Amino acid sequence: MRIARRIARGAAESFGLMRSRGARGERRASSVCSAFSAAPRAAVLSLATVASLGAQPGVAPTNDLPNPYRTVEGWARMPAGRTWGSTSAVDIDRDGRSVWVAERCGANSCAGSALPSVLLFDSTGTLVRAFGAGLLVAPHGIHVDRDGNVWVTDCACTGGRNAPVTPVTKDSAAPPRGHQVFEFAPDGRLLRTLGAAGGARAPGYFWQPNDVLVAPDGSVFVSEGHSSQPGSVARVLKFDRAGTLVKTWGTFGKASNEMDQPHALAMDSRGRLFVGDRGNDRILIFDQDGALLDTWYQFGRPSGIWIDARDTIYVADSESGSVAPAHGAWKRGIRIGSARTGAVTALIPDPATNPPSTSAAEGVAVDARGVIYGAEVGPRALKRYERIP
């Protein structure tokens, strides 16, 4: 996929898009215009059943499922003297084996840290590349596009569900940071910055961007709004490959056409856009023009979504019963099933029985061999799950 070589200067300024010096061409262009910123019992569902689930929030928990994976702790090795911080961002490199992670500098925020936050581990768990120091406050989502470029959202949303819905007063002596989307070349060169630093609910800014996804045709999708407070931003923005805003859809709420924390994005082989509407305990499935096609509740409370080339879907639930006690009948963990039919066939459960906050994987990715990686905010870890022979 080639990106248009030239973008109108006025459009770039209007949408807060900044080009980085030294970038080779317009590999990906985007912009921001935030208006207000069966083993025991597999849950195999018929198409008719799946369709009916979309209208029934009271779906029975899909808990009684096999777990065909074993957990590998401590696979990714940090350099001496560095510990894992919170991470919700994990993706697979174009080689199909190496793992990209955006980690919060040994804490839950990179504010004040000189550590690089974007990390690449090879297939043995050895850190081979690190960059992004001084750029991000709270890296949240990560996406590797078809050119191998690495997109990272800086949600600046360490307040979780209670994050502010409007900008907070900042120290005027400190430069604003956060609420942006960055595109990096695989070698760490900053190619593009989307949105003005500091965040706002105004044109040219993001407010709490959660995730980013580049479609096969070069369209860029961003989900925005991390707070669950009334009046929050909660929507999806679509841009064409030249950086022009095409449309936005979604507003905060509980209705079928509303969202509460659109936390994760994924796309299946048919080009359907899956949105993890976490605060509403559901997945919303749209076409690429924003038309709602289906609503699924059977995958739990979605923090992260991954769909592979065979349309196997992996959904990370890091909050049921802890952050979200009303969803306490559901087990936390990674549910596995079919993005084509909605069948849920496996569950990797959270080993923590009574965590005080977010637990288990919040971000999820799967390499070419079928190895699953879970990025954890509360436990501050990257876990690896290998299929049991």
Phi, psi of 10 (to 5 degrees): -65, -40
Contact 182, 154 (CB under 8 A): yes
With bands split at pLDDT 50, 70 and 90, how would you rate the model's confidence at 165?
A: low
d(CA 201, CA 118): 27
Could you tell me if 235 and 208 are in contact, meaning their C-beta atoms sit under 8 angstroms apart? no
81 φψ region: left (φ > 0), alpha (ψ -120 to 50), beta (else):
left
Domain that residue 58 falls in: 9-387
Tell me: the pLDDT tens digits for 245-256? 889 999 999 999
Residue 14 DSSP code: H
Better pLDDT: 204 or 1 = 204
**Quick check: is 2 in a domain?**
no
The sign of the torsion formed by the CA atoms of 249, 250, 251, 257 equals positive
User: Is the model's pLDDT at 29 over the cut of 50?
Assistant: no
Count: domains in the chain: 1
Q: 25 falls in which pLDDT band (50, 70, 90)? A: very low
Q: Tell me how far apart the alpha carbons of residues 111 and 159 are, in angstroms, rounded to a whole number.
A: 14
Instruction: Say what the pLDDT of residue 22 is.
Output: 40
1 has a pLDDT exceeding 50: no
Torsion sign over Cα 41, 46, 51, 55: negative
**Is 150 a member of any domain?**
yes
* Domain assignment of residue 161, yes or no: yes
- The stretch 178-191 carries a mean pLDDT of 95
pLDDT, residue 373, reads 97
Is 113 within a domain?
yes
Q: How far apart are CA 336 and CA 341, in angstroms?
A: 12
Tell me what pLDDT residue 40 has: 38
Is 3 contained in some domain?
Answer: no
Residue 85 is assigned to a structural domain of this protein = yes
- Taking the C-alpha atoms of residue 39 and residue 43, their distance in angstroms, rounded to an integer, is 10
Exposure of 10 in the CB half-sphere (CA atoms within 13 A)? 0
Domain membership of residue 79 (yes or no) is yes
Q: Say whether pTM exceeds 0.75.
A: yes
Q: What residues have CB less than 8 Å from 92, skipping those under 6 apart?
A: 98, 99, 100, 144, 365, 366, 367, 368, 373
Q: Is residue 4 part of a domain?
A: no
5: pLDDT confidence band, cut at 50, 70 and 90?
very low
Tokens matching residue 358? 């977010």
Q: Which percentage of the chain shows pLDDT scores above 90?
A: 63
Asked if 313 and 307 touch (Cβ cutoff 8 Å), the reply is: yes
Is 53 strand, coil or helix? Answer: helix
Contact 316, 302 (CB under 8 A): yes
Of 364, 365, 360, 367, give the one whose Cα is nearest residue 381: 360
Give the C-alpha separation, 286 to 300, whole Å. 18
In this structure, what CATH number is given to the domain that contains residue 156?
A: 2.120.10.30
Residue 23 is predicted with a pLDDT of 36
Q: What are the backbone dihedrals phi and psi of residue 191, each rounded to the nearest 5 degrees, phi first?
A: -90, -35
Q: Is 324 helix (H, G, I), strand (E, B) or coil?
A: strand
